[in-house]
Structure 1
Amino acid sequence: MDQLPAAAFIGSNSWVLGPTKTKSGRAILANDPHIGYSQPAVWYEAHIEAPGFSLYGFHLAGFPFAVIGHNRRMATGMTMFENDDIDLYFEKISKSDTSRYIQDGISKVLTYRQETIIVKDSSDILLNVRSTAHGPIMNQALGLSDSIPPVTMMWTYLQLPSDELEVLYKLQRAKGIHEARNQIAKIHAPGLNMMYADVGGNYARWSAATLTHRSQSATPKLIMDGSDSKNDPLGYYDFSYNPKSENAPWGYAYSANNQPDSIHGISHPGYYLPEDRANRIIELLDQDKKWDVKGTQAMMLDYQSNTAMSINQSILQSLDYGHLKEPVHQSVLDLLKDWDGNFKEDDPIGTVFNKLIFKIQQLAMQDELGKESFEAYLKTHVMKRSLEPLIANDSSVWWDDVTTEEKESRTDIITEAFISGIQELQTQLGDQVSDWQWGKVHQLEHQHVFGKVALLRGIFNVGPFEVSGSNEVINNYLFSLNEMGEAHVHAGPSTRRIVDFADVEKNSWSILPTGNSGNIFSPHYEDQAKMYVQGKFRRMLMNKKEIKSISKAPLILVPK
């Protein structure tokens, strides 16, 4: 994460409530895109009014148009689709001529081009790029050894013309659901779930991407044989094959990076996150109640995990209680038995639970994977999707420690993880379980690039703050499990945003993680930071008269 030039788009929650689900009978849109934290914050919030145009938008550096936003007529939000739009291929280079490659027994010419990267105050970097019909050879970029055959990358984004800027421009001017859908259909990569609501009560979710039509023999999650054209894409599906939900009879649409339903009997491969957040959203929205902004705000701050409760039950059922004789063991067991699945910053259960699931996986898997690969595994979607079924599976091959002569069972590993995990927490946080509050280890600090220098950290960084929440709850404060037991939050809601069409001007709300300025001398550098971690919101003002009446020094740009 630290090596990325910009904050990574990771996930997101969004739901739109139709008129039958709200107290006002008007649509409500909620969206909190999950992005890597940084300082200055990812979004720049700006309200633009011009003749024939109005938008309260959230802007990214380098983009001329807002990515998400609303006006008095319609609102949009987004999450990551997580569809698989990249295929990798092993290429077969001709033995007699290394400037050619072989496919289906036919010799073809590698294309060459030179890319120049201009570096400020330094020499230009020249890259010689070789490509096949699949795409550029990636060995150098991927750090592959010379013994690995050339690996090429075919990415949908590079295969088709990019219309994203035109889409954003026209989407912000859409006059209704049909115009919005027509624009969103043009997004081909990266995949997005676009959320929509309007003043007429329409609401929708469209999975926006040009989806690859692959043969049944293709294995897109592996590096495929590029010398056989049967592994090449057969083409692309029409937008009508994309998952979608428009004005659904149950009254809402949602997205939480989970795999959407199949369309026309086709399920599209991807790197979808587990259904934890999606199932919790459904559970809450299926309640027999009408929603308003206050209820929606509370839902965005929800940190209960039914999946964690299921894992907790599997742990309790697997323990050998005859080995748990220390008073501290009983104190921890009491916590686990009484737990309601919430991750509160002042409760030690979050610290205990995450230590346990780390230790269980470490003892089960590190003997096979090795330390480096195990640490990489902990940072993947695979870990999140595998954890619950692993701990529930008494016969999994992972339970046996291959470094010993005995054959360990699930009970052996989980009991050992329980005992050693508690010992580590005592060393880290003291002997009293009540002192192991989740907020002591689960903290959010917004890091500025200059803040990596110790002397400048207190000047440029914002925080740290103790926070509730966890991985894969609605209030999704993401961290990586690690041996140190430190749950430093590296990503989460980049804004929390609610648009209520009962009264867009008076009842639409948002919050940024820090502030709307990157200037450390500005009062707006971190003026929202405490509000953000406290779960507060502020209104998104659109009424010109109201803005002028409360603004201390409004900046008004008037074209000549």
Structure 2
Amino acid sequence: MRTLFRVLLWLTGGLLALALIAAGLGYYLISRSKPDYDSVQTLAGLNGEVEIVRDANAVPHIYAQTDADAYFALGVVHAQERLWQMELSRRGAQGRLSELFGPAALSLDRRLRALDLHALARASLRYQSAETIEALDAYSAGVNAWIGVVNESALGRGAPEFFLFNEGLAPWTPADSIAILKVMALRLTNAATMETKRAKLLRRLTPEQLEDLFPVYPDPGILSLPTFAKGHPEPGAPTVTRRASRDEDDALGELEELFFPPARRAGASNVWAVDGDRTATGASLLANDPHLWLSAPSVWMLVHVEFPGEGVIGGSLAGVPAVLVGRNRSLAWGLTTAGIDDQDVYIEKLNPENPDEYLTPEGWARMTSRTETIRVKGADDVATTLRWTRHGPVPPPDLYDLGAVTPEGHVAALAWTALSAEDRSLEAALNLMRATTIEAAVKAGEKVLAPGQNVAVAEKSGVGVFVTGRPPNRRIGSRSHGRLPSLGWIAENDWDGLADPSATPRSIRPASGVVANANNRTTNAPFPDHLSFDWEAPYRIRRIEQKLNARQFHTAESFVELQNDTVSEMARAVLPLIASDLWWTRDEGVGDARGDRRDAALKMLGAWNGEMSEHAAEPLIFAAWMRALTRRIAGDELGEDLSEIEGARPLFIERVFYDVDGAGRWCDVDKTARVETCAEISKLALDDALDELVAAHGADMSTWRWGEVHRARHLATPLGLRWPFDLFVNIEHETSGGDYTVQRAQTRGRGPEPYLNVHAAGYRAVYDFADLDRSVYIISTGESGHLLSRHYDDLAELWRAGEYIPMSMADSDIRAGALGVMRLLPAEE
């Protein structure tokens, strides 16, 4: 027995030693790819020496003697810090994720292949300007030069993830960069999703009921704000509108949402600017915080590129040779999603005698087709046939759930403005970052095809805002107006090309000196010049307008304060509607535990100012009540389709409680003989919410906190999707804010963690023309995508706390506390 014990002891010790050796070897191999900020690299493709200074926050500052070398160095920097992020984005655009993740990603690849984004990107190269091609070629050369360094110097395959997903790393090409921008455009539109959602709900609802669920935007369209202290709504003003399903906790579902997000997370942002007449210094101010999915590393990477004669600093996307949001020494610009209805679903009738043909106004026509092979890790290759009608690609039925609205003997085709080879959106971005006047910025923006964006700009003496992207020219006789899938054989439903780029809304140097946008309606033009029927609810723009008009003169500090404002104008507008009857009435069963709990919650909410503070219980009670109220009001009418609108629906709730056009009928439960009132339903919903919260957090309301459930989860893909990797690679912390606050922190809305913060401002910046080098910015994680780098998450806590880092292009600021200097030298020929 003693001998056996010794043997077991030696075996255990040996196994532990082997495990430690393996862990040490793994750490060594992974750490080899950690960026070295103090190095000298000799690289082919450079014309002259380039210096890259990492400042105290690891932001790279690139100094080059030619434009080509500057773009080359940007490619090196992106690849050094974010190579895995770039590869994942590129493979998504190509529809090649199954090569990494196996059969689980096959359906996603089929959808992405159907859109053919990478082929369109390759075809678009012939439409780019010579300057754009030079930038793309130089950037690609820089990326590939760094991949060469990784291979030659054994730098851990370039990123830790490549040890688990080592399927080969192809050279970077100019088309890869354009394709990544097309993927971004895909993420920033929800038009097709909304069409199919409406069509599915019409199986259960009347057109009037559907209008209640998706009401027309209630406020006038604005770009520049009214004259100071006039025209803005009072806090809590009612939003009275009048008529004119997958499991998110599934790991594959999270991966799919990187490319096809739910409609409510298609993109949002804030931007506002004031000219010198409205600032304490007499110089313009601009603030911008684009809202995208939270990820680790952040979608954004901060960079400063010093071109000959001009410098530019701001937020870049790894894989794209441009600073997409930021400033140069004369101009600052910010972006928000314009919400343009740039997609239409067409239902095409197939020829019963030949399923390769479909009906057109002129008769039967043959679909274009091409067969491709999808390589699948751990499984056989899969052939997929791509098909197109005259309207666009024929995607798989699971894209936007098109199969649910496509009758037998028909297929659905997708028309989308971005599905064109004549796409010069990258050229527009390059021209914008070199523009020095508002007029030059407007001219640059006219080259954008997609995504549609509101661009706010500021120079020292003025501000402006304009809409970019080319909306489709729908015919006045369109049967669907783009709100529902259209019959493909009806000529009136066709597009007449795209709108002239100079025809989109704009406001340049307005008399008020103030421009702002929070994805609100930007034009009052009727169909077909309306841009969209679907806009973000007006609560954020109302709050911005209210705060901008609350003081005569603004400072950079007041802009920072507004960016971090967490008061919900939605809560201020809706809470009095749903709680008024309950505040002034009490059930006869005084003293019952449920009634006491309800009274306590109502007392807390009655004293609440609408601030969505992470430390308070009121935001949690209100958010749970709103979700429960939607279920109570719409559940009997929608049944299993309730998932199509799950979550808070404040515009719908306002419409119902104000009984606009008879919308109060929703409160009556159609399965019962009696007629229920909205007050009764509101009380039942509050009890539902409190029961849910008691079960999850205990009966003591004083211990409930919004931040406990409203955690920002910066998801690392794919390691963060699986235990135990998620414990180390995801970045998570409590946050304030909510779906309708200026500091927008959008909740998941469904599943076991419905209040998780998954979509927020991954980049914030305030540009101060009194001294542009005193401007500030921040991203949500850190500069590096490397898991072992201390700069993987070092900015996350600052971001959570609403703090910023300096945004200076002054050499003295950059080199003070710099982490290192990297020198790139041209190889001798």
Instruction: Verify same fold: TM over 0.5.
Output: yes
One-letter amino acid of the counterpart of residue 394, structure 2: I
**Residues 449-483 of structure 1: CA deviation (Å, up to 9, x unaligned):** 212222222221112x1211111110000003347
Alpha-carbon distance change, 432 to 499 in structure 1, aligned in 2, over 3 angstroms: same
One-letter amino acid of the counterpart of residue 637, structure 2: E
Q: CA deviation at 1:485?
A: 6.8
Q: CA deviation at 1:99?
A: 2.4
One-letter amino acid of the counterpart of residue 321, structure 1: T
Structure 2 residue corresponding to 1:329, chosen from 598, 606, 618 = 598
1:258 aligns with 2:524: no
Aligned to 1:236: 498
Q: CA deviation at 1:50?
A: 2.8
Q: CA deviation at 1:447?
A: 1.8
Q: CA deviation at 1:236?
A: 2.9
Structure 1 residue corresponding to 2:366, chosen from 88, 109, 120 = 109
Name the SS of the counterpart of 1:102 in structure 2: strand
Q: CA deviation at 1:484?
A: 4.9
Aligned to 1:99: 356
1:392 aligns with 2:658: yes
Unpaired runs of 5+ residues, structure 2, are 1-252
Name the SS of the counterpart of 2:419 in structure 1: helix
Aligned to 1:79: 336
Is this contact kept in 1: 2:578–2:657, CA < 8 A?
yes
Say which structure is richer in helix.
Answer: 2
Pairs within 5 Å for 1:150-189: 150-159=411-420, 161-189=422-450
Q: CA deviation at 1:120?
A: 6.7
Inter-partner Cα distance in structure 2 for 1:21 and 1:125: 61
Name the SS of the counterpart of 1:396 in structure 2: helix
Aligned to 1:454: 723
Name the SS of the counterpart of 2:365 in structure 1: strand
Inter-partner Cα distance in structure 2 for 1:544 and 1:119: 50
Q: CA deviation at 1:138?
A: 2.3
Inter-partner Cα distance in structure 2 for 1:311 and 1:298: 24
Alpha-carbon distance change, 134 to 307 in structure 1, aligned in 2, over 3 angstroms: same
Alpha-carbon distance change, 558 to 23 in structure 1, aligned in 2, over 3 angstroms: farther
Aligned to 1:444: 712
Alpha-carbon distance change, 294 to 288 in structure 1, aligned in 2, over 3 angstroms: closer
Pairs within 5 Å for 1:57-456: 57-117=314-374, 125-142=382-399, 144=403, 147-148=407-408, 149-159=410-420, 161-199=422-460, 201-218=461-478, 219=480, 220-262=482-524, 266-319=529-582, 321-323=585-587, 325=590, 326-371=595-640, 373-378=641-646, 383=649, 385-393=651-659, 396-449=664-717, 450-456=719-725
Inter-partner Cα distance in structure 2 for 1:478 and 1:140: 28
Structure 2 residue corresponding to 1:25, chosen from 279, 282, 286 = 282
Structure 2 residue corresponding to 1:508, chosen from 770, 775, 778 = 775
Alpha-carbon distance change, 131 to 301 in structure 1, aligned in 2, over 3 angstroms: same
Unpaired runs of 5+ residues, structure 1, are none
TM-score, normalising length: structure 1: 0.93
Is this contact kept in 1: 2:569–2:741, CA < 8 A?
no
Of 517-526 and 482-491, deviating more is: 482-491
Inter-partner Cα distance in structure 1 for 2:672 and 2:454: 48
Q: CA deviation at 1:105?
A: 4.9
RMSD of the alignment, in Å?
2.3
Inter-partner Cα distance in structure 1 for 2:741 and 2:356: 51
Q: CA deviation at 1:556?
A: 4.2
Inter-partner Cα distance in structure 2 for 1:109 and 1:395: 46
| Bigger CA radius of gyration | 2
Inter-partner Cα distance in structure 1 for 2:267 and 2:337: 7
Alpha-carbon distance change, 263 to 255 in structure 1, aligned in 2, over 3 angstroms: same
Q: CA deviation at 1:89?
A: 1.0
Alpha-carbon distance change, 395 to 55 in structure 1, aligned in 2, over 3 angstroms: closer
Alpha-carbon distance change, 359 to 164 in structure 1, aligned in 2, over 3 angstroms: same
Aligned to 2:291: 34
Of 333-342 and 345-354, deviating more is: 333-342
Is this contact kept in 1: 2:630–2:647, CA < 8 A?
no
Q: CA deviation at 1:363?
A: 1.1
One-letter amino acid of the counterpart of residue 526, structure 1: D
Name the SS of the counterpart of 1:322 in structure 2: coil
Name the SS of the counterpart of 1:197 in structure 2: strand
Is this contact kept in 2: 1:354–1:481, CA < 8 A?
no
Aligned to 1:528: 795
Equivalenced residue count is 554
Name the SS of the counterpart of 1:98 in structure 2: strand
Of 549-558 and 118-127, deviating more is: 118-127
One-letter amino acid of the counterpart of residue 157, structure 1: A
Alpha-carbon distance change, 121 to 518 in structure 1, aligned in 2, over 3 angstroms: farther
Of 484-493 and 179-188, deviating more is: 484-493
Name the SS of the counterpart of 1:67 in structure 2: strand
Q: CA deviation at 1:270?
A: 4.0
**Residues 493-512 of structure 1: CA deviation (Å, up to 9, x unaligned):** 0111111111111x110111
Name the SS of the counterpart of 1:321 in structure 2: coil
Alpha-carbon distance change, 124 to 207 in structure 1, aligned in 2, over 3 angstroms: farther
Is this contact kept in 2: 1:86–1:156, CA < 8 A?
yes
One-letter amino acid of the counterpart of residue 61, structure 1: A
Aligned to 1:542: 809
Of 91-100 and 389-398, deviating more is: 389-398
Name the SS of the counterpart of 2:675 in structure 1: coil
Structure 2 residue corresponding to 1:10, chosen from 242, 263, 267 = 267
Aligned to 2:747: 479
Identity %: 26
**Residues 97-134 of structure 1: CA deviation (Å, up to 9, x unaligned):** 32222222522222122345556777655431221111
Of 77-86 and 234-243, deviating more is: 234-243
Is this contact kept in 1: 2:272–2:516, CA < 8 A?
yes
Alpha-carbon distance change, 523 to 159 in structure 1, aligned in 2, over 3 angstroms: closer
One-letter amino acid of the counterpart of residue 314, structure 2: G
Is this contact kept in 2: 1:345–1:467, CA < 8 A?
yes
Is this contact kept in 1: 2:374–2:382, CA < 8 A?
yes
Name the SS of the counterpart of 1:401 in structure 2: coil
TM-score, normalising length: structure 2: 0.64
Name the SS of the counterpart of 2:820 in structure 1: coil
One-letter amino acid of the counterpart of residue 271, structure 1: D
One-letter amino acid of the counterpart of residue 421, structure 1: A
Is this contact kept in 2: 1:243–1:263, CA < 8 A?
no
Is this contact kept in 2: 1:134–1:153, CA < 8 A?
yes
Alpha-carbon distance change, 123 to 542 in structure 1, aligned in 2, over 3 angstroms: farther
Q: CA deviation at 1:268?
A: 2.2
Is this contact kept in 2: 1:58–1:66, CA < 8 A?
yes
Higher RCO (CA-CA < 8 Å; seq separation 6+)? 2
Q: CA deviation at 1:410?
A: 0.9
Q: CA deviation at 1:523?
A: 1.4
